[in-house]
Amino acid sequence: MTGGRAVNSEREVMNAGPILDGELVDEVGAPLQESRQKRFARWWVYSPRVPAAFKGWVNLRQAVRHALAWVLTRPWRYVRAVARGLVVALRSWRTWVRVGDFREAALAQEKLADKFSEIRELGLFRWRVTGAGLLLVVLVLAVAHLIYGSQVLWCSGAVVSVALAILGRRKDGSPGRTAVLAGPRSLTWTMDPQVLVDAFRDSKLIGKEESLRLVERPRREGDGWSVTVDLPATRKAADVIKNRDALASALAVDEVQLIAERVRGNGGHAGRVALWVADSDPYRSPPTRTPLLGVPRWDVWKPVPFGRDARNRRIDLPLVWTSLLVGAIPRQGKTFATRLAAAGLVMDPYTRLYIADFKAGKDWDAAGLVAHRFMSGDEQEHTLTLVEWLTELVGEVQSRYRRMRDLDDATCPESKVTPAMARDLTLDMPVTAVILDEVQVPLEDRTPVDVQGKQLAVGEHVGELLTWLAKKGPAAGIVLVLATQRPDSKTIPSGLRAVLGSRFALRVMDWRDSNIVLGEQMNTRGHDASRLLPSHKGVGILRPDGDIDAGADVLAMTVRTYYMPNEDWRVICQRGRALREQEGTLTGHAAGDRPRSSSRVATLVPALASSEEQEGGSADAEATTLPEPLASVIDYVTSHAGDREFIASAELIDSVGADPAWFGRQMSKLGCPSTRERIETREGVRQMRGYHVATLWDIADRLAEGYEPETEAL
């Protein structure tokens, strides 16, 4: 009921018109005015009619500098141009008055003797013309001076100087001027397009008739100039990067001052290259302390601050989902670079650390405050302890994959450890880092061991375990950080190097060592760590695995690592221990739990066991009857000979680690002298001394049966 009257349920529908929605605006002109200001600002920035000098304070300051430089240098350049013009004019007059053109024509026709009288008469005539011309000029100037005064002389001198300056202007190819000796070159005030074109032509990156196309105008970026250019058709940016030293020579700068990168993605193509030229050596300044000193903690899932490139851009190194290999010769900053990567792991209290220092120094001692497993030494027992660690981690990875299968999709969307899973103490799946300094020590250990009934060198077994962890461990939260000062193919197996995602090469001896660290044929792509200067400590070539600030498509870059001395490293480790105590994640060695070895998966073979064990019997008792160095040689042949019929003496001596003279004498005493054979190698067929594999096995079998060599007893 409404107002005492009934209301029909079916009401008449009426058209009320459109319904408008709005809001009350106090100042009507404000949005329009703001829009006009934005449009004007956008037009000012992007309009080609506005000079670039008025589009920002940086451009204005640079334009003022250019103007001052022009004002200060122009008078001196004008005087030098006049002097060069005078020399060019005198040289041209001398050639003309000596009838050089007519003389050369007669000489080409072999009629110089017949034309001698004509040449002499023409020369005398030109001398008379020269004298008459000078006399006429002097008379005209004298009369004009008497009539108009000295201003005639000033005006005439100005006209003549301008003409001489135009004639002697510094521009190769000008009429009447031929460059004899090039003067000293210097980096221009701006990246002038013609300078770039000439540099590309001189370095044979483009043809003499080809040119470049500027994608964007040269601009200041940091302490240098940046420019992006398009190469001519069929020319590739990869060739520019490969021949970066030739382009640097053409630009008259050191190659460390020049960065050439291919522009990829939607805004790039195979012929687009970005260049950056530094004003001076970008690595001569003192190194910068690591920024981790100024943060209370770090998240290991974020890239770790690693260093800065030549443009002073901060380079962060991702560690999760990948592994890192650091290689260099001694005293180049290898341990410092490895500790920088480890610092981010230390500053995350949910990270578990396995740290082994095979240098046996004190560089890593502070890591014992936070490490779940820690050791420092280079003895055989340390290598066997490492085998236990790696075997333990192999079992841990397998256990994590089994447990991840039982988790729901919300907790574990894929078969990968997530940040939430790594921080959940009940799941016990933290990010686990294995950091090995001087990894070549365990990898080169040739001590025979028995692995599940198979005889292997302990170094080979370590390589197999590391390779397995590098392949399957990243998805389970395992991170490998390996550092070595012997980056060669014998030290680090190729199978292990192939699965290490991130690489960092400081200065090495030659391009082969650089390729072993960075990857095959990296030197042909313009990245060779052997070309780094010895004075550039901590400077290396980084090949990252993942997105970095310089771009996800960057193949490699030169980076100067942050500086972190022992005192800073100790502060970071102490901070990491305090964070772990606060979160309740301090375990293992850092918590005082240092268990002894309960069992070894890899055990020493009977040849290295005690004499009592030998007398007690063994499945491999035959190995105990072989004297050294034949026992080690047979072990190496079993593991590495494969299908080869002949092994070089140098290879066996290197595997045994013995003195060459002693090795040769002992093998001869055992009835196995070396022979010389022609062997096909990568460098071609070479003649080398060595041993036949069949002969080695024959001698070993005969000695095992009780054969006594005819020579003196050992």
State which fold the 193-278 domain adopts: Threonyl-tRNA Synthetase; Chain A, domain 2 (3.30.980)
Intervals of CATH 1.10.10 along the chain: 605-704
* d(C-alpha 250, C-alpha 275), whole Å: 14
pLDDT of residue 35: 66
Identify the CA nearest to 283 among candidates 568, 557, 564. Answer: 557
pLDDT of residue 622: 36
228 residue type, one letter: T
pLDDT of residue 146: 84
* d(C-alpha 432, C-alpha 476), whole Å: 9
Asked if residues 576 and 349 have their Cβ atoms less than 8 Å apart, the reply is: yes
Show the 3-state SS of 660-680: HHHHHHHHHHCCCCCEEEEEE
* d(C-alpha 651, C-alpha 690), whole Å: 9
Side by side, which strands form the sheet with 675-681? Answer: 646-648, 684-692, 675-681
- Phi, psi at residue 29, to the nearest 5°? -85, -10
Q: What is the mean pLDDT of each run of 10 residues along the chain (714 residues)?
A: 44 53 49 64 72 75 79 79 84 79 64 67 84 88 84 85 79 41 42 77 87 81 84 88 86 85 82 87 85 91 91 88 88 88 94 92 91 90 90 92 89 89 91 93 86 81 92 92 80 82 89 85 82 85 73 75 91 94 91 58 40 37 58 76 75 75 79 77 70 80 64 38
The strand ranges marked E within 565-709 are 602-604, 646-648, 675-681, 684-692
- The number of beta carbons lying within 10 Å of the beta carbon of residue 207 is 11
pLDDT of residue 110: 60
For residue 590, what are its two tokens?
């850092």
Q: Tell me whether residue 13 is exposed, middle or buried, using C-beta atoms within 10 angstroms of its C-beta: 0 to 12, 13 to 18, 19 or more.
A: exposed
- Please state whether 564 falls in left (phi above 0), alpha (psi between -120 and 50) or beta: beta
User: String of b and e for 322-338 (b: at least 16 CB within 10 Å)?
Assistant: bbbbbbbbeebbbbbbb
Asked if residues 638 and 455 have their Cβ atoms less than 8 Å apart, the reply is: yes
Domain spanning 605-704, CATH class: mainly alpha
Determine how β-strand 224-230 pairs with β-strand 258-262.
unpaired
559 residue type, one letter: V
Taking each helix axis from N to C end, the angle separating 660-669 and 630-640, rounded to the nearest 10 degrees, works out to 100
Side by side, which strands form the sheet with 448-451? Answer: 454-457, 448-451, 602-604
Listed in sequence order, the residues at least 6 apart from 286 whose beta carbon sits closer than 8 Å to its beta carbon are: none
Intervals of CATH 3.40.50.300 along the chain: 291-591
State which fold the 291-591 domain adopts: Rossmann fold (3.40.50)
For residue 328, what are its two tokens?
């260099």
Identify the CA nearest to 256 among candidates 222, 275, 296, 283. Answer: 283
The number of C-alpha atoms within 13 Å of 113 and in the hemisphere containing its C-beta is 1
Side by side, which strands form the sheet with 539-543? Answer: 314-317, 304-309, 557-561, 539-543, 502-505, 324-327, 478-484, 432-437, 352-357, 373-376
Tokens 């994959």 sit on residue: 401
Listed in sequence order, the residues at least 6 apart from 210 whose beta carbon sits closer than 8 Å to its beta carbon are: 201, 232, 235
* d(C-alpha 560, C-alpha 288), whole Å: 9
The number of C-alpha atoms within 13 Å of 259 and in the hemisphere containing its C-beta is 27
Tokens 């037009």 sit on residue: 43
* d(C-alpha 461, C-alpha 467), whole Å: 10
Intervals of CATH 3.30.980 along the chain: 193-278
Determine how β-strand 272-278 pairs with β-strand 258-262.
antiparallel
* d(C-alpha 248, C-alpha 259), whole Å: 9
> 309: helix, coil or strand?
strand
